Structure 1
Amino acid sequence: MKRNTDFMLRDIAGEVILVPTGAATQQFNGMITLNEVAAFIWKNLDESESSEILVDKIMNEFEVDRETATRDVIGFVSALYERGLVLDE
């Protein structure tokens, strides 16, 4: 999995936001506000070869159990795929 480079992560007024650029502006109208865990997942997508690696990284960064980390990764990454923000390599 790899981030769609037509979306940029920005910190605007203390909010972490994904903003469409380029061709994505024609298909995606708006911005996505991310919480701390979602921003962490986004930042680590490209160098994580699998969802399990992301889960391990979340568990190392945040004080959560494997079940919670897995639920967060699956839920958020699935939503990203549905909206075209994550692509298969």
Structure 2
Amino acid sequence: MKINSNFKLRHIAGETIIINQGTPDADLTRIISLNASARFLWNEFSGQEFSVDEVSYLLAKTYHIPVQQARQDATAWVISLKKCNVIID
């Protein structure tokens, strides 16, 4: 899977949000805001293929959390962004 290249990060009013560029039928009524760890993952995996396992490993290593917790967090991040077509297979 990978991050859809139509989506870009922007910093507005102290928040990091995802905007959809290049899609004329985009729903502009939805705002996707990222917290610091979600922004970190975006920056690490943007422009490349990745798996939930790779995301889990990076979370566990970076934040010193148990692998099981990292897997749950990685899965939640992927599912949330897939629902919005930000992450595509």
Q: Read off the aligned partner of 2:25 and give its amino acid letter.
A: Q
Which residue of structure 2 lines up, in the alignment, with residue 32 of structure 1?
Answer: 32
Gaps of 5+ in 2: none
How much has 1:48 moved relative to structure 2?
5.2
3-state SS in 2 of match to 1:26: coil
Q: Which residue of 1 aligns with 2:56?
A: 55
State how far apart, in whole Å, the 1-side matches of 2:74 and 2:49 are.
Answer: 12
- DSSP-derived class of the 1:19 partner: strand
Alignment of 1:1-89 (within 5 A): 1-23=1-23, 26-29=25-28, 30-45=30-45, 46-47=47-48, 49-88=50-89
Q: CA deviation at 1:49?
A: 2.9
TM-score (norm 1): 0.81
Residue 64 of structure 2 aligns to a residue whose secondary structure is coil
Unaligned runs of 5+ in 1: none
How far is the alpha carbon of 1:3 from its aligned partner? 0.9
Q: Which amino acid aligns with 1:61?
A: T
How many aligned residue pairs are there? 87
* TM-score normalised by structure 2 residue count: 0.81
Amino acid paired to 2:66? D
Report sequence identity in percent: 28
